[in-house]
Amino acid sequence: MPVPHTAFAPEATTNHALRAYLHGLPGVDEVGARARAQDLSTRSIKTTAKAKAIDLAISMVDLTTLEGADTPGKVRSLCAKAALPDPADRTVPHVGAVCVYPDMVATAVEALRGTGIGVASVATAFPSGRAPLEVKLADTRQAVADGASEIDMVIDRGAFLSGDYLKVHEEIVAVKEACGEAHLKVILETGELVTYDNVRRASHLAMRAGGDFIKTSTGKVAPAATPPVTLIMLEAVRDHFAATGRRIGVKPAGGIRTTKDAVRNLVLVNETAGPDWLTPDLFRIGASSLLNDLLMQRTRLSTGTYPGPDYYTQD
Amino acid sequence: MIFEYAPAPESRSVVSLRETYDLFIDGEFTPARSGEYLTTLNPADEEKLAQVAVAAPEDVDRAVAAARRAYDTVWSRMSGAERGKYLFRIARIIQERSRELAVLESMDNGKPIKETRDVDLPLVAAHFFYYAGWADKLSHAGLGPDPRPLGVAAQVIPWNFPLLMLAWKIAPALATGNTVVLKPAETTPLTALVFAQICQEADLPPGVVNILTGAGETGRALVQHPGTDKVAFTGSTEVGRQIARAVAGTDKRVTLELGGKGANIVYDDAALDQAVEGVVSGIFFNQGHVCCAGSRLLVQESIAEEFLPRLKERISKLRLGDPLDKNTDIGAINSAAQLERVRELTATADEENVERWSPACELPERGYWFAPTVLTGVSQAHRVAREEIFGPVLSVLTFRTPEEAVTKANNTPYGLSAGVWTEKGSRMLWTAERLRAGVIWSNTFNKFDPTSPFGGYKESGYGREGGRHGLEAYLG
């Protein structure tokens, strides 16, 4: 059932208009949001549902390495794993994408050629975003030129927190333009926005500015993708769809390490935005160690035993 | 459907049901003098669970005499610290056996395991722990330097929260040095009988707790028995009135916790997603079999058009079915009689041209089921806005100003609970000050805690249970 929206985005974009729009959104009651997320975390997903959820989750993983110590060798090894997560079992689906720093995009694109897996690149002076706009745009253009099909940008949290919504908006619009055909994921870094009201406002701001995905965190700041934050972002995309007819994706990233965490995220999606969002086109999980746990649980479910962590590749 | 939750039933193997259960008098299970038994069913599939003895007036005499003896010879003379030890022991055993009790409660009552596991049982244990702590501190309860117990308490409890209501009654009574004769509801006697076993396991002195099963006649004999000093009842306003009449002119103390028609007031500046959650849990928690349910939604007219579709979408996601499935949100109606009442009252809405909506939701073939229902276009004059339905039926009314919200919320013979949803603190306080209800929840609903007193205004009853206030009901 379509859900009407409380506040409608203003036509002209001024800071005043954006503020009126964002502050006109319904508030979020923190206690209630936590309680709802906790309630959904008690769903019991077993047997066939669990098998389906694990495969779905694998196909939604943005397999990530964002370390200063990354090397072409490490990225190539990650790409091999992305294409064939479990060499012993070819029925395992490939992951959603590989996520790397801009200077590793070319390596990853080369390694993934022919697999159908896209390369996502963080850009815009990730993770802090503290660089002049021109630098951020150059960062983005280079990643796209090297073959990235998805760009994960960070918003200017300082501007957001100081109430300069227009600056945040304009940056997203500019980066979106620099992306060209590439999909844009907008990282809100919710751990720095702190309040759930801010999470909701930043979500709507990013969607309105043209983001294709809204993403919780860089993974460099704690807390990262907590269930209530993901819940609020899923409510935001649900409301945005009801108001505009446009479906925006959601990507929790950071801190999702176990199959249980991943399945809980799928339950959040299923019961908040709805089953339409249960596709890698509209939901991704940014993670690195999660994939091995998913594989291990998958084997456990089909064979009844844990093969042990040594049977899965570390990087 | 991309992601269909597979059945996730909680195992019944933790419960070992006996074929028949006798009365628990003076520390032992003993057959009823009546020789009669009643059958208790699983309302989710109408399967027989067990035969339960029906206490006759002679059995009530025996139980009251046992309770008196235990009061005179043991319990009233025991130090508070010693009584507290027994209560702590009972609380711990309840925690240890909580899975078994949760499954049994779901089977006998029809409520989802998610609720018995996460709400009922933790609160039951918490209640015993809380009052265990008071047992040796009664002189600090603000009731004088040496408050005295009343004697023997006759306690009659309802079927909606069988074990929790038992805890609300027995824990404060025992902590204050009273002994009890308790009658559980006719349709949900089983957890009380397991509680009797727990009393044995805890070595509680015989006669301190007596459990008499049976129907209305047994309850009547118990509350009218001349040998008791206190009557505590939770249930319908109609029966509450009969009890008040029966004990009028005697020196018995009485507390009554009766019906309600709680209002959930949603202002236009409320946190909408959380308000939707609160309205849903306010009426659909425990199938609406909650005396303090938010059965009337009062939503500000300016957001009604937006709020109702959100509410309906959320209700469509509720999962109705097997109460033992861990993913079930809505279980079975407790009895055929209650189902009939819910149907009958809801049908008056059809006659009164109230719009009725339920999500597409398949009801199981066997058992007692009623789909979550929302009635819109309801006015104060409609029966569904005035009478307690005690089922999963929400009446939606609108208001334009805060004054109107308060007037409508208070315009009921009941006064048990209310909820207020607004992000504005001053409006919250303004509204709460004016609502005549025993419990007012602010941006939440159906939250319970042993430290918080609970009780009603007007026809919702008198006396308070829970917290320090709950001690007053059992001390002279």
What would the pLDDT profile of A92-107 be if each residue is shown by its tens digit? Answer: 999 999 999 999 999 9
Question: Residues of CATH 3.40.605.10 domain(s) within chain B?
Answer: 12-258+459-472
The CATH class, in words, for B263-450 is alpha beta
CATH for B12-258+459-472, options being 3.40.50.2020, 3.40.605.10, 1.10.10.10, 3.90.1530.10 = 3.40.605.10
CA-based nearest residue in chain B for residue A38: B118
pLDDT at residue number A314: 82
Mean pLDDT of the region B404-419: 97
Question: How many CB atoms are closer than 10 A to CB B34?
Answer: 17
Mean pLDDT of the region B160-184: 98
pLDDT at residue number B476: 87
> What is the spatial distance between Cα A66 and Cα A101, in angstroms, rounded to a whole number?
6
User: Cβ separation of B306 and A6 shorter than 8 Å?
Assistant: yes
A26 lies within 8 A of chain B by CB = yes
User: Cβ separation of B3 and A47 shorter than 8 Å?
Assistant: no
- Greater confidence (A10 vs B179) lies with B179
Find chain B residues with C-beta within 8 A of A6's C-beta. Answer: 272, 303, 306
Alpha helices, H only, B31-79:
57-70
pLDDT band at A7 (very low <50, low <70, confident <90, very high): very low
**Structural domain for A99, as ranges:** 31-302
Digit-coded pLDDT (tens) for B377-398: 999 999 999 999 999 999 999 9
Mean pLDDT of the region B139-147: 95
Out of B271, B306, B309, the one facing A27 most closely (by C-beta) is B271
- β-strand partners of A235: none
The B-side interface with A (CB below 8 A) comprises 1-6, 8, 114, 118, 269-275, 277-278, 303, 305-306, 309-310, 312-313, 316-317, 326-327, 423, 443-444
User: Cβ separation of A275 and B1 shorter than 8 Å?
Assistant: yes
pLDDT at residue number A2: 43
Active-site residue, selected from the candidate residues A197, A251, A261, A293: A251
Mean pLDDT of the region A66-80: 97
Find chain B residues with C-beta within 8 A of A31's C-beta. Answer: 274, 443-444
pLDDT band at A3 (very low <50, low <70, confident <90, very high): very low
User: Cβ separation of A26 and B273 shorter than 8 Å?
Assistant: yes
Mean pLDDT of the region B142-159: 97
Active-site residue, selected from the candidate residues A152, A156, A212, A261: A152
The reply to whether A262 falls in a domain is: yes
pLDDT band at A13 (very low <50, low <70, confident <90, very high): confident
Out of A46, A53, A235, the one facing B273 most closely (by C-beta) is A235
pLDDT at residue number A6: 43
Min Cα–Cα distance to chain B from A267, Å: 9
Digit-coded pLDDT (tens) for A143-192: 999 999 999 999 999 999 999 999 999 999 999 999 999 999 999 999 99
pLDDT at residue number A11: 56
The reply to whether A307 falls in a domain is: no
Out of A26, A52, A279, the one facing B272 most closely (by C-beta) is A26
Digit-coded pLDDT (tens) for B186-242: 999 999 999 999 999 999 999 999 999 999 999 999 999 999 999 999 999 999 999
A29 is catalytic: no
The reply to whether A99 falls in a domain is: yes
User: Cβ separation of B274 and A36 shorter than 8 Å?
Assistant: yes
Digit-coded pLDDT (tens) for B53-77: 999 999 999 999 999 999 999 999 9
Look up the CATH number of the domain holding residue A162: 3.20.20.70
User: Cβ separation of A45 and B5 shorter than 8 Å?
Assistant: yes
pLDDT over 80 at B246, yes or no: yes
User: Cα A177 vs. chain centroid, distance in angstroms?
Assistant: 20
At how many degrees (to 10) do helices A290-303 and A47-60 cross? Answer: 150
A215 is catalytic: yes
Question: How many CB atoms are closer than 10 A to CB A2?
Answer: 10
Question: How many CB atoms are closer than 10 A to CB B105?
Answer: 28
Min Cα–Cα distance to chain A from B404, Å: 23
Instruction: Name the phi and psi angles at B42, rounded to 5.
Output: -90, 110
In Å, how far are A19, A42, A107, A254, B388 from A160, measured between CA atoms? 11, 34, 34, 21, 49
A49 lies within 8 A of chain B by CB = yes
User: Cβ separation of A235 and B306 shorter than 8 Å?
Assistant: no
Are B188 and B337 in contact by the 8 Å Cβ rule? The answer is no
User: Cβ separation of A275 and B2 shorter than 8 Å?
Assistant: yes
The reply to whether A310 falls in a domain is: no
Indicate the range of A9-18, B153-162, B391-400 predicted with least confidence.
Answer: A9-18
Which element (helix H / strand E) includes A203?
A: helix A196-209
pLDDT band at A308 (very low <50, low <70, confident <90, very high): confident
Min Cα–Cα distance to chain B from A64, Å: 26
User: Cβ separation of B5 and A50 shorter than 8 Å?
Assistant: no
pLDDT over 80 at A1, yes or no: no
The reply to whether A75 falls in a domain is: yes
Three-class DSSP category at B439 = strand
Domain total of chain A: 1
pLDDT over 90 at B332, yes or no: yes
A32 lies within 8 A of chain B by CB = yes
The reply to whether A198 falls in a domain is: yes
User: Cβ separation of A32 and B270 shorter than 8 Å?
Assistant: no
Mean pLDDT of the region B326-342: 98
Q: Which of residues 244-303 of A touch B (CB under 8 A)?
A: 266, 270-271, 275, 278-279
Whether the CA torsion A174, A175, A176, A181 is positive or negative: it is: positive
Using a pLDDT cut of 90, give the percent of chain B over it: 98
Question: Residues of CATH 3.40.309.10 domain(s) within chain B?
Answer: 263-450
CA-based nearest residue in chain B for residue A4: B306
User: Cα B403 vs. chain centroid, distance in angstroms?
Assistant: 31
Find chain B residues with C-beta within 8 A of A45's C-beta. Answer: 5-6, 8
Share the mean pLDDT of chain B: 97
Three-class DSSP category at A59 = helix
Using a pLDDT cut of 70, give the percent of chain A over it: 96
Active-site residue, selected from the candidate residues A86, A215, A261, A293: A215
CA-based nearest residue in chain B for residue A197: B271
CA-based nearest residue in chain B for residue A2: B309
Q: Return the closest-CA partner of residue A143 out of A164, A159, A124.
A: A124
Q: Which of residues 58-97 of A touch B (CB under 8 A)?
A: none
Digit-coded pLDDT (tens) for A46-72: 999 999 999 999 999 999 999 999 999
- Give the DSSP letter string of B370-386: ---EEEES--TTSHHHH
pLDDT band at A211 (very low <50, low <70, confident <90, very high): very high
User: Cβ separation of B270 and A26 shorter than 8 Å?
Assistant: yes
The reply to whether A204 falls in a domain is: yes
Find chain A residues with C-beta within 8 A of B271's C-beta. Answer: 26-29, 32
Digit-coded pLDDT (tens) for B286-311: 999 999 999 999 999 999 999 999 99
Min Cα–Cα distance to chain B from A26, Å: 5
Are A27 and B269 in contact by the 8 Å Cβ rule? The answer is yes
User: Cβ separation of B326 and A52 shorter than 8 Å?
Assistant: no
pLDDT at residue number A12: 61
Mean pLDDT of the region B457-473: 95
- Greater confidence (B376 vs B1) lies with B376
Q: Which two tokens stand for residue A147?
A: 């073959």
The reply to whether A3 falls in a domain is: no
User: Cβ separation of B271 and A53 shorter than 8 Å?
Assistant: no
Q: Which two tokens stand for residue B343?
A: 């149907």
Find chain B residues with C-beta within 8 A of A59's C-beta. Answer: none
pLDDT over 50 at B170, yes or no: yes
> What is the spatial distance between Cα B396 and Cα B233, in angstroms, rounded to a whole number?
30
